[in-house]
Structure 1
Amino acid sequence: MAKLTEQDIIGWKGSEDDYMNADQLEFFRERLLQMKEELVINATQTTNHLQEQEATPDPADRATLEEEYALELRTRDRERKLLLKIDSTIRKIDDNNYGFCEDTGEPIGLLRLLARPTASLTVEAQERRERQKKQYAD
């Protein structure tokens, strides 16, 4: 069978028994690997950019540069955490546990996974966790 496209995923009308079949798992594996590759490229570009840093005598320019670098490093730190989540998600695909809610065991849903391939909870379970977190924070 040909590789699935995003349109195939959006228009999927299969049965529950066919949810997370081999073709769907391969589609999401490819999507995750592509995300990972983009993040690694971004990290490499940041490293190169920071190594090209030139000293500037003007304190205002230096402060601006430092702020830009700090923002870039925060972004890369978020991406580093996402890389770990991508690797964890790929392991779930390998173990045939991908696409099912960690809390309820229910299908997460193809559209949610298309929007957020690393999702590990259904929308309802995610909302429940966020409400609980908010209650403890208040």
Structure 2
Amino acid sequence: MVKQEIAGYSGLSTDQVGVLRNLLMRKKNELLFKHRNVDEFNLTVEDRSDEIDLANADAVNAQQLRFRNRDNFYEKKIDEALTRIENEEYGLCEECSNPIGYLRLFARPTANLCIFCKEEAERDEANNGKSRVRGRMLSYLSTFSNVK
């Protein structure tokens, strides 16, 4: 089989790009339906008759909100990856413009950094205490984990 390459796709074949696009679409659809029926499990007003039930309901709602926020962030990353596919920029590292390997993209289809730049970013994050993704100081975030 002859490998067909598309300009801008860093050596990914059309088949590989198709597989990765389908994978991204499947993950996006999973996210869309993931929280669809969550409200069925919420307690009704009648079920929350005492303070313990109210506290438990608040804790469950806070946890669901964290999960939804995380999933919303991931959905944005999926949309960005799909846009990069449309613009024929998918598979190229945003830092060094080198190709991102197919196996890395298959394992993490939203990856926008090659493995070398990602490792460097993680080292910088560990040394500087600042996340490149969210731009927040890790020490600032860790103060909330100590609150009881």
How would you bin the TM-score normalised by the shorter chain?
A: 0.7 to 0.9
Q: Per the alignment, in what secondary structure is the counterpart of residue 36 of structure 2?
A: helix
Matched, 1:136 2:125: no
**Paired positions, count:** 124
Identity of counterpart residues, as a percentage? 32
Match of 1:34 among 22, 26, 30: 26
Aligned to 2:63, which of 66, 71, 78?
71
The answer to whether the Cα contact below 8 Å between 1:20 and 1:98 also exists between their aligned partners in 2 is no
Change (3 A) 1:29 1:15: closer
- Match among 79, 82, 101 for residue 90 of structure 1: 82
TM-score computed with the length of structure 1 as normaliser: 0.79
1:9 alignment partner in structure 2? none
Alignment correspondent of 1:114: 106
| Residue 15 of structure 1: how far off its partner (Å) | 9.8
Instruction: Describe the shift of the 1:118–1:54 C-alpha distance in structure 2 as closer, same or farther (beyond 3 A).
Output: same
AA partner of residue 14 (structure 2): A
When the two chains are superposed, the root-mean-square deviation of aligned CA atoms in Å is 2.5
Matched AA of 2:25? L
1:19 Cα offset (Å): 2.5
Tell me the CA shift for residue 35 of structure 1: 0.4
1:89 shift after superposition: 0.3
The 8 Å contact of residues 32 and 86 in structure 1, kept in 2 or not, is answered as yes
Structure 2: runs of 5 or more not aligned: 130-138, 140-148
8 Å Cα contact 1:89/1:118 also seen in 2: yes
TM-score (normalised: structure 2): 0.74
Secondary structure of 1:108 counterpart: coil
Q: C-alpha separation between the residues in 1 aligned to 2:53 and 2:118? A: 43
Check whether the contact 1:100–1:121 (CA below 8 A) recurs between aligned residues.
yes
Amino acid at match of 1:21: S
Distance 1:103 1:85, change over 3 A: same
Query: Secondary structure at the residue paired with 2:116?
Result: helix
Q: Would you say the 8 A contact 2:4–2:13 is kept in 1?
A: no
The answer for unaligned runs of 5 or more in structure 1 is 2-13
Instruction: Report the CA distance between 1:134 and its aligned residue.
Output: 2.4
